[in-house]
Structure 1
């Protein structure tokens, strides 16, 4: 609940209470006089900058919570581009000689948890600027004109605080800028959004090179498609800095930062952990290191080991272990299902299985986690077909052993259909290059079905000679509940020829 909403609720309750007193016959004039006096004093203090605007956090001067660019890992390109923009502020006199106009706004674009807020704080430290932070949701209220007033007060507060501290620079950071900067005309029943955006545009246009206090607006969003074009043009947000998910080397840097204060066992290799965390953001990696330390604490250990990190990876991806326990028949089916996934994964790409478990986490009764060797951004037809095979292998292993399937494969089938659809839309199916908008739905369905049925046949033929081995691995998995990729591979390759594994 925002402070603005609390004020509105309090105002409503107060008016209702005064109405109740009038209905009871009490003289409320003295009470209204006292309340009016305090309200006038509050608004006077707020107008003089003595009261902080709603939702605003201020960081001024030197303090122990300052963030530096060295504290942010995995964003070398974004930091380089941001520093270049900030150097225009630090070296104002030099750039003035070259006729360069200082930037008015910098927009940080990227998924949640990638460090956009940290970069804004580091930018304030880098330029020795007054830092004021707020969120887009703090400007919008049900009363017309409130948002525009708060925008004016925000910029005035930044200038006043900088002048008070004798600084030449002030930095305003607005998180979730899409709330206040969305495309105009989308909220026809609520003009407050458009009025607030108009005021923000006016304030940005009012930034001048010769101001005694130079204000830089930094905003962050993960929905750039929602922003109004007038806000995105040069002269307002002059630089758009991409803050993407970190690559493998970037993840290693982030892990080093978040494990600096954690004692690690000798078996912990951050490069191996980074390889297993493809797609993790900086926030995910911070949570991972924290969860690993928690696991070590639960066991009474004084150091964090690789086992704790592997447990933490599973928790971040899947969630905490659940108390629910399937019955014996369900547990055996889950074990066979996951063994099928792991077996096909290991056949199509040796060494790819990281963990195999039947411990329930989140919505999954069991799972098989793969280990990508390198970050992959482009996929071939062979890779996509192999992934479809792995998705189908769980249900087909159930069918091989029990002669039927279960509802546990529904999520696998959804992923398989998505992969088949990607093959079609990437021009790698028999249809060639197609457009999703012009492709008839029945044709899309036919080709998806064709791709999946082809892979079903391949997987069935592959699993058949491994029937006995699947049952043996299932028995071990039921006993131990979890197998590492190394242990699983030892069980799979005990026999040299698949024909000898047939039951």
Structure 2
């Protein structure tokens, strides 16, 4: 049923664009609609538009450099989000290693790092990124034995006892280790963006000009900027 709905949405997108045949981008757009809602243009102040584009460019660039498959990068509003970068594993995977989860934390922190690098400070747009990074760090520390202890804090969770993130944040040693992981990821993202600043600026400008970039457009821009 989900696949049927997805293909129906993709067909609607193609018809609205005056085409009879579906494309890969139609399916990606349809997937975004079913997952996070329709895209809407935002009446950004010029400075705000540049900031949001830089933020999303940071996510897209680091995701690409770390081998993720970026599906789309956008500064259009979907739901409560002013923009988004959707990315997946380059190949279908069912498990995640600690190293892979740490890479995902770096990607989550890349928007903040890009804003600080280009504007001197980050905006309120980083709130959901920090929440995602905190959740993944809590999983590494309290669930996957990726810190000093092999004890699982998830084992202490009983009905009504709170979730894993709450357990980690309320346990001082675990909270410190999770915090250190997020800070290390933030530093790594910042270093990568400094090294690839021209690529970041190129992606941000493209987002400012076009509002949305497909998977192919993101990879082509990153490849071209990296080679040059």
**TM-score normalised according to structure 2 size:** 0.85
Within the candidate set 475, 478, 492, 2:222 is matched to 492
Helix, strand or coil for the counterpart of 2:76?
Answer: coil
TM-aligned CA distance change 1:431 to 1:477, over 3 Å: same
**For the residues of structure 2 that align with 1:301 and 1:491, how far apart are their CA atoms?**
26
Counterpart of 2:65 in structure 1 is 347
How many aligned residue pairs are there? 215
- 1:290-317 C-alpha deviation (Å, 9 max, x unpaired): 1112122323333333332222112112
Listed as ranges, the matches of 1:57-456 within 5 Å are 283-349=1-67, 352-424=69-141, 425-436=143-154, 437=156, 441-456=171-186
1:444 offset after TM fit, Å?
A: 2.4
- Unaligned stretches of 5+ in structure 1? 1-282
- State the shift of 1:404 in Å: 0.3
Q: Structure 2 CA distance, aligned partners of 1:479 and 1:393?
A: 21
**1: CA distance, partners of 2:77 / 2:56:** 12
- For the residues of structure 2 that align with 1:495 and 1:321, how far apart are their CA atoms? 28
Q: Which has the higher contact order (CA 8 A, sep 6+)?
A: 2
Per the TM alignment, residue 335 of structure 1 is displaced from its structure 2 partner at its CA by: 0.6
Question: How much does 1:378 deviate?
Answer: 1.7
The more displaced of 314-323 and 381-390 is 314-323
Residue 478 of structure 1 aligns with which residue? 208
Does the 8 Å contact 2:70/2:88 carry over to 1? Answer: yes
Q: Return the alpha-carbon distance in structure 1 between the equivalents of residues 190 and 152 of structure 2.
A: 31
Shift of 1:323: 4.7
Looking at structure 1, the residues matched to 20 and 153 of structure 2 have their Cα atoms a distance apart, in angstroms, of 57
Q: Which of 187, 196, 201 is matched with 1:466 structurally?
A: 196
Larger gyration radius, structure 1 or structure 2: 1
Query: Contact (CA 8 Å) 1:401, 1:467: kept in 2 or not?
Result: no
Provide the rounded CA distance (Å) in 2 between the counterparts of 1:366 and 1:316.
16
CA distance in 2, matches of 1:467, 1:287: 40
Q: Conserved in 2, the CA contact under 8 Å of 1:399 and 1:405?
A: yes
Q: How far does the alpha carbon of each residue in 1:242-268 deviate from its partner, in whole angstroms, 9 at most, with x for none? A: xxxxxxxxxxxxxxxxxxxxxxxxxxx
Contact kept? 1:389, 1:459, Cα under 8 Å: yes
CA gap 1:405/1:434 in 2 versus in 1, 3 angstroms = same
- The 2-side partners of 1:477 and 1:416 are apart by 24
Q: Judge conservation of contact 1:325–1:360 (CA < 8 Å) in 2.
A: no
SS at match of 2:39: coil
How far does the alpha carbon of each residue in 1:87-130 deviate from its partner, in whole angstroms, 9 at most, with x for none? xxxxxxxxxxxxxxxxxxxxxxxxxxxxxxxxxxxxxxxxxxxx
Can you list the C-alpha shifts for 1:173-215, whole angstroms capped at 9, x where unaligned? xxxxxxxxxxxxxxxxxxxxxxxxxxxxxxxxxxxxxxxxxxx
- Do the aligned partners of residues 495 and 363 (structure 1) sit closer, same or farther apart at CA in structure 2, a change above 3 Å counting? closer
TM-score normalised by the chain length of structure 1: 0.40
Verify the 8 A CA contact 1:355 1:485 in the aligned structure 2. yes
Work out whether residues 25 and 214 of structure 2, in 8 Å CA contact, stay in contact via their aligned partners in 1. no
SS at match of 1:458: helix
* Distance change >3 Å, CA 394–CA 289, structure 1 → 2: same
CA pair 327-305 structure 1, distance change in 2 beyond 3 A: same
Q: CA deviation at 1:479?
A: 0.8
SS across alignment from 1:356: strand
Alpha carbons of structure 1 residues 312 and 481: separation in structure 2 relative to 1, 3 Å = same
